[in-house]
A and B are shown apart, each in its own frame.
Chain A
Amino acid sequence: MTSQNQDIKDIVHFDRVSLRYGRGPEILSDVNFTLPQGSFTFLTGPSGAGKSTLLKLSYLRLLPSRGLINLFGTDTSRLASADQQALKRRIGVVLQDFHLIEHLSVFENVALSLRVAGLPRAQYTNDVTELLQWVGLGHRMQAFPPTLSGGEKQRAAIARAVIAKPDLLIADEPTGNVDPVIGRRLLRLFAEMNRMGTTVIIATHDVDLITEIDARILRIEDGRVYKGLNQ
């Protein structure tokens, strides 16, 4: 399916997508799924099943070996570099290992996407400050990542992903390093963003988290994607 006949309301559409590294075995095989606009989806499955890889394909960190990926109704296989970056600016990503820039303060890390988008500092200072206070990092705005705990890093990474109010939010184990109270608070943030129109997909092992919200569930096993927890 190509962007010409793809329903634009599908924010993400995987059409028989496969991925292998070099000549190795396929990590993902003939994956088909869609993320409708405004949906909230949990991606679950055992460790090593390919959850992170599938997410990497979704935010264009990897390109598939076979198949087509449509993002926001655009066939990503034919995208020029500039268009690819324009698409990426519509996606917020929270990664397992945070990927915070160590020589930048928490404030600067969170403001990164806005700065890259060319917004003047005065325009985003209040938003960033407010969001950092909301995720419980109001007192750590000037701190640098090496001095943060795992949970604080996680929250900073989440704040960075959501600050630009992305159309699609992709999170890989976003609550893995935080206590249950903060975890639920972060989940509420994702849900709030979803209510405001952001499509959300969260990869997680955490069954408690999955049951907190009435959301679609995709399960990945042996490189294939299934709907629901037990199919």
Chain B
Amino acid sequence: MARNIQNGSAQALLPERMKNTRALLCVLVIMAFLAALSMLFARGAARLSADWRAQLTNSATVQVMISSADSRGEEMKIAQETLQNLLTDTKITPLSDVQAKNLLKPWLGNTSLPADLPVPGLITLESANNALPAAQIKTALSAQGILANIDDHTRYASGLKRTSRGLVFGSFVILILLLIASLAVNVFATRASLIAQKDIINVLVQVGASNKFIARLFIEQAARRALVGAIIGAGFAIVTWIIFSANPLGTLKDSGLVWNKLSTSLGDTLYLIALCLFFTLICAMAAGISALTQLSKERRSL
């Protein structure tokens, strides 16, 4: 029997299954779930915004101010050649007169436009990787006697950047609040546990256990509980996110771009692992500090 005991592992000094353990675990799972979801949302939003901004800054529209209807063809040709010489790795597509007029329809309706309406000539530019140099394009066209405006979407891109930063910041604030709430939950849980397990603590104190020794028991217990809660919560969050990304209701069927960018990546998984560990650390720290404070207070009031 002694050999059996020697080979066995020591039993946990604090009981693992207490009355309210399940309720506490449930709270921790919910906290971890919300924290993981807000982190996934922040990362998804940042990724989406970066992608949109890249697309916006890699494309531009040149509006050639046609001096007269007769010279339209000539001016568009000069503008196109100038752009081709300047931007060698950019796709340059001039829009026909009809296409340019069609763009006015959302504002002017389907009424037939007068033939002599001075519609600017439009040329779209699409670069594979590089942002387009608006000032340089304007100068080059101007040197060829072409008056043009360059819309490089900077206005939209900066607005998008601000929005995305706001979303990421908001998610981060929610994440922090959830972590603080988890910390508070663990402080209360540890205090309650100290009261519930007063008899055990008294015995431990009697056999010479230091406050640190006893606090370590609560830290280990809280860390185990928090890790389980974090893994379950993060698991649920991933499943929720994947279902959300798959768009099962088809409400955003045509927004493939959005959902592709929102779906999880390897980076997200690493972030989630880090979040689980941080969540565990926070809970363990809260339990340790709470236990040490309470035990010291009790020793002083002996």
Contacts and interface: CB of A to CB of B under 8 A. Distances in A.
Nearest to A111: B10
A148 to B, nearest CB: 16
Contacts, number: 74
B11 A125 contact: no
Given A104-B13, A125-B6, A129-B1, A89 B207 contact: yes
A113 B10 CA distance: 13
A113 B13 contact: no
Contacts of A121: 6, 9-10
Interface string A50-75: 00000000011111000000000000
Nearest to B6: A125
Contact of B211 (A81, A103, A115): A81
B10 A101 contact: no
A129 B5 contact: yes
Most buried by B among A84, A85, A100: A85
A108 B5 CA distance: 10
A109 to B, nearest CB: 9
A6 interface: no
Interface residues on B, range: 20 to 34
A101 B13 CA distance: 8
Contacts of A215: none
Contacts of B210: 81-82, 85
Given A85-B209, A121-B10, A99 B15 contact: no
Given A81-B210, A81-B296, A101 B5 contact: no
A8 interface: no
A231 interface: no
Interface in B1-60: 1-2, 5-6, 9-11, 13, 15
A49 interface: no
Nearest to B199: A99
Nearest to B203: A99
Contacts of B11: 103-105, 108
| Interface residue SS majority, chain B | helix
A107 B5 contact: yes
Given A103-B11, A108-B10, A81 B299 contact: yes
Contacts of A89: 207-208
A61 B206 contact: yes
B202 interface: yes
A189 interface: no
Contact of B208 (A103, A117, A128, A138): A117
Contact of B206 (A82, A93, A108): A93
Given A85-B209, A113-B208, A101 B200 contact: yes
B119 interface: no
Contacts of B208: 85-86, 88-89, 113, 116-117
B302 interface: yes
B2 A125 contact: yes
Contact of B213 (A61, A62, A116): A116
Which 9 pairs of residues, A with B, have the shortest CB-CB distance? A89-B208, A113-B207, A129-B2, A125-B6, A88-B208, A103-B15, A116-B209, A85-B210, A108-B11
Interface of B: 1-2, 5-6, 9-11, 13, 15, 199-200, 202-211, 213, 296, 299, 302
Given A88-B208, A113-B208, A129-B5, 4 more contacts: A88-B206, A107-B5, A112-B13, A116-B204
Interface of A: 59-63, 81-82, 84-86, 88-89, 93, 99-101, 103-105, 107-108, 112-113, 115-117, 121-122, 125-126, 128-129, 138, 141-142, 160, 164
